[in-house]
Amino acid sequence: MRSPLTTLPKAELHIHIEGSLEPEMMVALAQRNGITLPYASVEEVRAAYQFENLQSFLDLYYAGAQVLQTEQDFYDLTWAYLQKCAAQHVRHTEIFFDPQTHSDRGIPFEVFHSGITQALKDAKTELGVSSALILCFLRHLSAEAAMATLEQALPYRDSIIAVGLDSSELGHPPSKFQAVFDRARAEGFLTVAHAGEEGPPEYVWEAIRLLKVSRIDHGVRCVEDPALVDYLVEHQIPLTVCPLSNIKLCVFDEMAQHNLKQLMELGLCVTVNSDDPAYFGGYMAENFQAVESALGLTPEQLVQLAKNSFKASFLSPAEQQPYLQELSTYI
């Protein structure tokens, strides 16, 4: 390879902006906003990040997000993440945000939306990082609440490319949100959904057939259903895989057991992503490094992952082309 791994140009397609809240910023924003955290120090916050499954993480993630109150807070959060992108050669990022995590505690849509989008604009001009925004519905809440959230987002639709589905997967299948996603597509949004992280292959089928998603977030349990693997390969429906997340949330016991390499060798369009980097121990470069060393990925496979990240993005083919061209010179 021409240069070290971290300099590969790449796109990130699975990052929850609330999950980029580093403990240092959590403590600083708590102080700034007069909020008392149940931790005495940054070290105590970090020490609490021992998760058994998705739900045990979500409980802390929603508690941490409470420190985000003002437009400036959302700006600072997003800007810190975008600076990481620039440092790690992430040239394009498609960012999830969870409106219900904020509006349900009285923060107006305008406040978090302005803070996030102003940082995205500044990153384009000051850091050369392009972006898109994906609104996620919290699937543990009702379909009616998701529909109300979609309606709140309509005045901001020009700044939001897609809708997605996150939070507690088991017991909340994609079918619960079919009407909301029908409406979202009718309003012009693309769709994605978390499926097959903890949930069964059937949830991946539902996301494809009922929600008509452009890509599947996680999807690693697809290997349990050979017909599903065939379908994903045939239609090249991308998976946004999050290796460090999968280890922290015990989807796999250790990185050496992760099926990312197997998925690639089956012909799936696999991408590498950070999910909630402040909680799971790393951003894009750390995720690439972790799979490279644990799974013994070849330089060709690493470049393929970077190429897949642009191909699976919502950039137009003309926008993808310079990145794919640059990557083709790497081997």
For the annotated catalytic residues, the residue numbers are 197
CB of 175 to Zn ion, least distance (A): 20
Cβ distance 6 to 292 under 8 Å? no
Question: Is residue 18 a contact residue for Zn ion (CB under 5 A)?
Answer: no
Which one of Zn ion, ligand HPA, none interacts with residue 54, CB within 5 to 8 A by kind?
Answer: ligand HPA
Which one of Zn ion, ligand HPA, none interacts with residue 19, CB within 5 to 8 A by kind?
Answer: ligand HPA
Cβ distance 214 to 236 under 8 Å? no
Quickly list H helices, the chain: 23-32, 42-47, 54-65, 71-87, 99-103, 109-126, 143-153, 178-186, 201-209, 226-235, 243-248, 260-265, 277-280, 284-295, 299-311, 317-328
CB of 198 to Zn ion, least distance (A): 11
Q: Which residues of the chain form contacts with ligand HPA (CB under 6 A)?
A: 16, 19, 54, 61, 166-167, 194, 197, 245, 275-276
Q: Which stretch binds Zn ion (CB under 5 A): 42-50, 171-179, 228-236, 275-283?
A: 275-283
Instruction: Give one word for 140, left, alpha or beta, with left for phi > 0 and alpha for psi -120 to 50.
Output: alpha
Angle at which helix 299-311 crosses helix 284-295, to 10 degrees, equals: 140
Question: Is residue 94 a contact residue for Zn ion (CB under 5 A)?
Answer: no
CB of 126 to ligand HPA, least distance (A): 27
CB of 16 to Zn ion, least distance (A): 6
Q: Which residue is nearest to Zn ion (CB)?
A: 275
Q: Which stretch binds Zn ion (CB under 5 A): 35-43, 271-279, 296-304, 320-328?
A: 271-279
**Longest distance between any two alpha carbons in the chain, whole Å:** 53
Binding site for Zn ion (CB under 5 A): 275
